[in-house]
Structure 1
Amino acid sequence: MKPLQPDTLIRNPNGLPIVASVVVDCHATRLWNMVGQFAGFDVFIPDLTHIEMTGTGVGALRTKFFRDGNRVVEQLNSRDEQAMHMTWTTIYNTLGVARLWAAIQVKSLGAQCSQVTWTIIAEPTDDANTGFRQFVQGFVDSALDNVRRMLG
């Protein structure tokens, strides 16, 4: 009998990136202080009731609780406070997502103008899920629209 070997279910997704980006009339630091808080996405995503964190910093897990009863568990992969970007991976969800990697980045466009870009690469659990990309795009567009309204 062959000895057990290291294995994992976590794989990076394949596919075309889904990108949402908005320009906000505020300083980049103010924008980053909202979208760069891994534990704080419920501030600008109304579909979330709350977020529970396990751990802090890179490697920490967040569980996002949705109003419709869905849950998503994600791990923070990287975060750079100075460069104002972070990445994360979904490791469990009830939304029909097989694999998901995401990044959010803030850039200064001037003293009182900045841009946030949210990039997602995801695979649905069901290959026949034709509305998946549109659903994800609509979700991130709506979230960043809220950010612009709240800070702009």
Structure 2
Amino acid sequence: MKPLQPDTLIRNPSAPPIVASVVVDCPATRLWSMVGQFAGFNVFIPALTHIEMIGTGVGALRRKFFRDGHCVVEQLNSRDEHAMHMTWTTLYNTLGVARLWAAIQVEAMGTECSRVTWTLVAEPMDAAQAGFEQFLQGFADSALENVRRLLG
């Protein structure tokens, strides 16, 4: 009998990126203090009831709980406080997403103006799932519009 070999279910998705971006009338550091908190997305995503964290820093897991009963578990892959960007991967979800990688980045556009960009690369559980990209685009656009309303 052949010995078991290391394996994993985690792999990066391969799909066209979905990008949402808004310009906010506030300093980049203020914008980053909202969107750069891996444990704080419920502040600008009203569909979330709360987030539970396991661990801190790179490698930490967050469990996002949605008002409609859905749950998502994600791992923080990278985070750079100075450059104001971070990436994460979905490990488990009840939303019909097979694989998802995401990044969020904040750029200063002057002293009182900044841009946040949220990039998602995702594959649906069912390749024939209609409206998957539109769902993700609408979700990200709506979340960032909330950020602009809260900070602008």
For the aligned pair, the TM-score class normalised by the smaller chain equals over 0.9
1:140 Cα shift? 0.2
CA distance in 2, matches of 1:107, 1:131: 30
The Cα of 1:130 is off from its aligned counterpart by 1.8
1:13-36 Cα shifts (integer Å, max 9, x gaps): 000000000000000000000000
Please give the alpha-carbon distance, in whole angstroms, between the structure 1 residues aligned to 2:57 and 2:136: 26
* Percent identity between the two aligned chains: 80
* Cα deviation digits, residues 27-55 of structure 1 (max 9, x gap): 00000000000000000000000000000
2:81 match: 81
Q: Structure 1 regions of 5+ residues with no counterpart?
A: none
Give me the whole-angstrom Cα distance separating, in 2, the residues matched to 1:40 and 1:60.
13
Q: Which runs of 4+ in 1 moved over 2 A?
A: none
Distance 1:28 1:45 in 2: 20
> 1:37: which partner in 2?
37
Match in the other structure for 1:58: 58
Residue 3 (structure 1) aligned with residue 9 (structure 2): no
SS at match of 1:56: coil
Structure 2: tracts of 5 or more residues without a match: none
Question: Secondary structure in 2 aligned to 1:110?
Answer: coil
Residue 112 (structure 1) aligned with residue 115 (structure 2): no
